[in-house]
């Protein structure tokens, strides 16, 4: 056997005996409320992760953040611990969409092989999996390259704080594996749309709609005209969509509206589409629909797309390892965004949805298939170890 094959066998053997411990850890993490805006909660999850990793001799760097949850980066040094030596990065987010207090009424429960609870699949199961992959690798001789795992805290609100740390942690990486939940089909994610959210503000001129209608400039009418143009940018064939999902404006029925606002959601498949879309938005916003009205647009959050080309080669490796382990897996495209788009858009081979299989994310019915913990952890560990025979970058 090659070095890599021996290491894969050792790691997979160890992981095969960890299912009960993984589920224990999952219960612990699910039973800590950790909404994206709940710094105390996401930090409490961080405390536990640090404790587990350090107990196993794995170094964790904790970067305190003033408003968001702290950033954790666990590191296994490579042979010679050369930092620039093409590391592998695993990623996961500790925050959930569920409000603080959810655990008190709806904590972790389990029926046979299915676990339930807030964030059980998205993505506390993925966090646990990454922790156990690190622990499995820690039991081997040092790899020829470093392995790192990043645990961020605000993905569900667009990774406003986390993105800079993701970019820094991914720099120079040979591969990124993001442990978002595996699809209900059992597949991993090989492509994701990017998305950007915008706030649009339109101002006009107020006037009494009975006494001096002609003196007014309706911000509502100007916004309405823009909405029609913005929605016309949707093109299902290319995968670009635009949606004004919220509007507000005016002061009373009989006043020409002096102000109106809207929130716009956009999705795209490629970075080129993103650039073109942003330019089109600027043009539409700049057009004066009605004399006396003006509009501004401001991006409030966004994820870059995970272009399928960036996952192809890494997916082939992952699929081959899964085959060896005895499970069949395909790649799947999804319209949902994730941090994988950030690393893929840096040009780094990226695979997403490597976490345990789950479904009904962001709902009270969210669940995780617990029997997928071991094989998914083994597939990730084996994919990382597959680089061993290639040595340093």
Task: Tally helices (H) and strands (E) across the chain.
Answer: 11, 19
Mark the segment that binds Zn ion (CB under 5 A) among 58-66, 121-129, 195-203, 380-388: 121-129
Cβ-proximal residues to 358 (8 Å cutoff; 6+ apart), any chain: 120, 121, 122, 125, 181, 182, 184, 366, 367, 368, 369
Widest pairwise Cα distance in the chain: 90
Q: For Zn ion, give the closer residue by CB, 307 or 366.
A: 366
Q: Give per-residue burial for 243-260: e unless 16+ CB within 10 Å, then b.
A: ebeeeebbeeeeebbbbb
The SS3 of residue 277 is helix
Q: Which residue number has the CB closest to Zn ion?
A: 122
Does residue 129 bind Zn ion (CB under 5 A)? no
Please state the closest distance from residue 126 (CB atom) to Zn ion, in A: 8
User: Which one, 206 or 306, has the nearer CB to Zn ion?
Assistant: 306
Residue 154 or 221: the one with the smaller Cβ distance to Zn ion is 154
85 vs 152, which CB is nearer to Zn ion? 152
By C-beta, is 123 or 244 nearer to Zn ion?
123
The DSSP bridge partners found for residue 150 are 73, 91
Give Cα separations from 124 to 94, 120, 180, 216 (angstroms).
Answer: 7, 5, 9, 54
* Binder of Zn ion out of 123, 129, 153, 344 (CB under 5 A): 123
State the nearest-atom distance from the C-beta of 88 to Zn ion, in Å: 20
8 Å CB contact between 365 and 120: no
Residue given tokens 């800079």 in the structure block: 164
Closest CB 302 distance from Zn ion, rounded Å: 16
Rounded to an integer, what distance in angstroms lies between the CA atom of residue 90 and that of residue 46? 16
Give me the least distance between CB of 183 and Zn ion, in Å please.
13
Closer CB to Zn ion, 123 or 128, in the complex? 123
Q: How far is the CB of 155 from Zn ion (least distance, A)?
A: 6
**Nearer Cβ to Zn ion (161/180):** 180
Please, what is the Cα angle at 354 between 124 and 323, to 5 degrees? 140
Tokens coding 187:
């597949």
Binding span for Zn ion by CB under 5 A among 53-61, 114-122, 194-202, 205-213 = 114-122
CA 300 to chain centre: 17
Window contacting Zn ion (CB under 5 A); options: 119-127, 142-150, 160-168, 193-201: 119-127
Closer residue to Zn ion in complex, CB, 103/382: 103
* Number of chain residues interacting with Zn ion (CB under 5 A): 3
Helix, strand, coil proportions of the chain in percent (round to 5)?
40, 25, 35
Asked if 366 touches Zn ion (CB under 5 A), the answer is: no
Q: What are the beta bridge partners of residue 62?
A: 72
Task: Tell me the closest approach of the beta carbon of residue 86 to Zn ion, in angstroms.
Answer: 26
Smallest separation (angstroms) from Zn ion to the CB of 156: 7
CB of 215 to Zn ion, least distance (A): 51
- In the complex with Zn ion, the residue whose CB is nearer, 70 or 155, is 155
**Helix residue ranges per DSSP H, 17-152:** 19-30, 39-55, 102-105, 125-138
Omega cis (within 30) before 137:
no
Distance of alpha carbon 308 from alpha carbon 332, whole angstroms: 9
- Sites for Zn ion among residues 298-337 (CB under 5 A): none
Q: How far apart are CA 110 and CA 270, in angstroms?
A: 40
Q: Which of residues 229-288 bind Zn ion (CB under 5 A)?
A: none
Query: Which of positions 46-85 make contact with Zn ion (CB under 5 A)?
Result: none
Instruction: Indicate whether 122 belongs to the interface with Zn ion (CB under 5 A).
Output: yes
Output 166 or 262, the one with its CB closest to Zn ion: 166
* Residues of span 149-208 touching Zn ion by CB under 5 A: 180
Query: Site residues (CB under 5 A) for Zn ion?
Result: 122-123, 180
């Amino acid at each position: 056997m090659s070095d890599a094959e021996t290491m894969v066998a050792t790691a997979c053997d160890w992981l095969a005996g960890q299912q009960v411990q993984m589920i224990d850890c999952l219960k612990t993490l699910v039973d800590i409320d950790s909404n994206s805006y709940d710094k105390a909660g996401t930090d409490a999850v961080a405390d536990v992760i640090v404790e587990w990793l350090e107990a196993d001799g794995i170094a964790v760097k904790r970067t305190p953040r003033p408003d968001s949850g702290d950033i954790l980066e666990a590191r296994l040094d490579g042979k010679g611990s050369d930092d620039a030596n093409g590391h592998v990065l695993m990623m996961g987010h500790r925050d959930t969409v569920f409000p603080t207090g959810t655990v008190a009424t709806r904590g972790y429960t389990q029926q046979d092989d299915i676990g339930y609870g807030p964030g059980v699949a998205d993505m506390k199961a993925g966090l646990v999996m990454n922790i156990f992959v690190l622990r499995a690798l820690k039991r081997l001789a040092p790899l020829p390259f470093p392995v790192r795992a990043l645990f961020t805290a605000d993905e569900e609100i667009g990774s406003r704080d986390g993105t800079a740390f993701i970019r820094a942690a991914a720099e120079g990486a040979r591969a990124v594996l993001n442990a978002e939940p595996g699809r209900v089909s059992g597949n991993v994610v090989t492509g994701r749309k990017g998305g950007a959210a915008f706030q649009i503000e339109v101002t006009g001129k107020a006037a009494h709609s009975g006494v001096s209608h002609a003196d007014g400039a309706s911000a509502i009418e100007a916004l309405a005209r823009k909405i029609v143009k913005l929605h016309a940018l949707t093109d299902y064939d290319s995968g670009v969509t635009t949606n004004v999902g919220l509007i507000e404006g005016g002061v009373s029925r009989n006043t020409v509206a002096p102000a109106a606002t809207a929130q716009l959601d956009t999705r795209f498949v490629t970075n080129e589409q993103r650039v073109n879309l942003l330019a089109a938005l600027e043009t539409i916003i700049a057009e004066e629909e009605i004399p006396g009205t003006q509009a501004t647009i401001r991006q409030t959050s966004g994820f870059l797309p995970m272009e399928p080309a960036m996952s192809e080669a890494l997916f082939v490796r992952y699929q081959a390892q899964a085959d060896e382990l005895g499970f069949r897996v395909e790649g799947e495209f999804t319209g949902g965004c994730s941090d994988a788009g950030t690393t893929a858009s840096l040009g780094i081979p990226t695979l997403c949805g490597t976490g345990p299989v789950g479904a009904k994310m962001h709902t009270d019915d969210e669940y995780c298939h617990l029997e997928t913990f071991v094989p998914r952890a083994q597939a990730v560990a084996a994919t990382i170890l597959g680089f061993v025979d290639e040595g340093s970058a």
